[in-house]
């Protein structure tokens, strides 16, 4: 299995989405949920085999015997897998199956576990402890390596008792902007009730978070753990649409005043009222690159009047696209789209306008 990096799953042109059941229960349950999420375009599946619980008599997870089921689902739907590690002895058996390791809130300050995970190479979701400060959260991440960590704000304990936990967007924003860390939120655990999960997801996305992780179950009322906070695939589909819309609106408001680091061939800019812009986009070959590029244009409501693919003639890229878009080079929506496309392309040029 190829070892992915944090940069492979964090994209500036779309939010990070992780979804799946609170806990893996049986093979068919996992497959049913994975199939529904895959049809929505979700690429990362939450697969928890261990459940640290306050009550020793409650469901604790099925353990490593569920790894073959995860392997089957991963292969069938080509999804990445995120799984919580509760003991250092679980790290090695998950290699080759689990793509993203996960440290739960109760283990945020389990420093021996963090050190052991630090010896691995996979990206890590680090949940904030129930009463941890942002400083403690960041220092816990240093045990693993901050270049591999994605922080997850899942709600903290406070004097408020209207929900299971209090979603601390203040702390999440400090972690993101003061400490330059990617931060996602877990609206399921902070709410503790399914009807509020969508609204907390929207709040986090509007505030500037990088993504969400949501508990999704095909039959929440029969779930063996956290039944009250899990939502159905049908509800999650609506949440996903709204989250993507909010993320798109955020990006559109971040347009810079000028196009940075793009080559413009002035000889082509002759008409007084240009309506179309011709672009050169050089890329490395990988699965899904064209889809990602087209998604960026669609997000900014930019229509393409021409798209041609050509083999590369440079060692720096494999091939390039010649793209004609129906807007001027100076339009803010194209400026911001190009800013995001810089993350996908090896080189971008504005060839001209007509």
Residues 288 and 191 in one domain: no
Q: Which of 106-120, 217-231, 253-267, 317-331 has the lowest mean pLDDT?
A: 253-267
pLDDT of residue 111: 98
Q: What CATH number is associated with residue 65?
A: 3.20.20.70
Share of residues in the chain with pLDDT > 70 (%): 93
Residues 301 and 172 in one domain: no
Residues 148 and 60 in one domain: yes
- Residue 217 included in any domain: yes
Residues 115 and 222 in one domain: yes
Residues 233 and 113 in one domain: yes
Query: Is residue 215 classed as helix, strand or coil in its secondary structure?
Result: strand
| Contact status, residue 81 vs residue 47, Cβ threshold 8 Å | yes
Section 153-157 average pLDDT: 96
Residues 312 and 212 in one domain: no
Choosing from 224, 252, 280, the residue where a domain stops is: 252
- Residue 291 included in any domain: yes
Residue 301: CB atoms within 10 A of its CB come to 11
- Residue 135 included in any domain: yes
Residues 19 and 107 in one domain: yes
Choosing from 252, 278, 308, the residue where a domain stops is: 252
pLDDT of residue 30: 97
Report which listed range, 175-189, 238-252, 270-284, 297-311, is most confident. 175-189
Domain count, the chain: 2
Supply φ then ψ for residue 75, to 5 degrees.
Answer: -70, -45
Q: What CATH number is associated with residue 316?
A: 3.30.70.260
Greater confidence (195 vs 291) lies with 195
- Residue 1 included in any domain: no
- Residue 54 included in any domain: yes
Section 186-200 average pLDDT: 97
- Residue 248 included in any domain: yes
What residue numbers bound the domain in which 278 lies?
263-353
Question: Residue for token digits 């998604």?
Answer: 295
Section 30-54 average pLDDT: 94
Per-residue pLDDT reduced to its tens digit, 267-296: 344 445 558 999 999 998 888 899 889 989
Residues 206 and 325 in one domain: no
| Contact status, residue 129 vs residue 108, Cβ threshold 8 Å | yes
pLDDT of residue 254: 61
- Residue 141 included in any domain: yes
Residues 148 and 211 in one domain: yes
- Residue 90 included in any domain: yes
Query: b/e for 59-93, b at 16 or more Cβ within 10 A?
Result: ebbbeeebbebbeebbeebebbbbbbbbebebbee
Residues 189 and 68 in one domain: yes
Residues 226 and 295 in one domain: no
Question: Residue for token digits 């929506």?
Answer: 333
Residues 149 and 26 in one domain: yes
Q: Which of 160-174, 260-274, 295-309 has the lowest mean pLDDT?
A: 260-274
Choosing from 215, 232, 252, the residue where a domain stops is: 252
């Amino acid at each position: 299995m190829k070892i992915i990096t944090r940069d492979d799953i964090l994209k500036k042109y779309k939010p990070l989405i992780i979804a799946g059941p609170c806990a893996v229960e049986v093979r068919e349950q996992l497959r049913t949920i994975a199939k529904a999420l895959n049809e929505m375009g979700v690429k990362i599946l939450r697969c928890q085999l261990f459940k640290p619980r306050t009550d020793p008599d409650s469901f604790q997870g099925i353990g490593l015997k569920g790894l073959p089921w995860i392997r089957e689902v991963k292969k069938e739907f080509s999804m990445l897998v995120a799984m919580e590690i509760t003991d250092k002895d679980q790290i090695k058996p998950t290699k080759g199956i689990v793509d993203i390791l996960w440290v739960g809130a109760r283990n945020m300050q389990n420093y021996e576990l963090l050190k052991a995970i630090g010896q691995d190479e996979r990206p890590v979701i680090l949940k904030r402890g129930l009463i941890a400060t942002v400083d403690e959260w960041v220092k816990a991440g240093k045990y693993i390596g901050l270049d591999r960590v994605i922080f997850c704000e899942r709600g903290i304990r406070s004097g408020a008792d209207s929900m299971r936990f209090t979603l601390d967007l203040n702390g999440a924003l400090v972690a993101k902007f003061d400490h330059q860390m990617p931060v996602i939120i877990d609206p399921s655990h902070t709410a503790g009730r399914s009807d509020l999960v969508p609204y907390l997801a929207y709040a986090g996305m509007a505030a500037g978070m990088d993504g969400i992780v949501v508990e999704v179950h095909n039959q929440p009322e029969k779930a063996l753990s956290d039944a009250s906070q899990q939502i159905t695939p049908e509800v999650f589909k609506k949440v996903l649409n709204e989250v993507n819309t909010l993320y798109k609106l955020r990006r559109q408001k971040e347009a810079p005043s000028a196009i940075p680091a793009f080559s413009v061939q002035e000889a082509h800019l002759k008409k007084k009222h240009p309506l179309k812009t011709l672009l050169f986009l050089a890329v490395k070959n990988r699965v899904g690159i064209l889809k990602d590029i087209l998604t960026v244009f669609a997000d900014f409501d930019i229509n393409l009047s021409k798209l041609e693919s050509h083999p590369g003639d440079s060692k720096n890229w494999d091939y390039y696209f010649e793209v004609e878009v129906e807007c001027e080079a100076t339009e803010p929506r194209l400026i911001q789209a190009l800013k995001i496309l810089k993350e996908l392309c090896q080189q971008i040029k504005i060839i001209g306008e007509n």
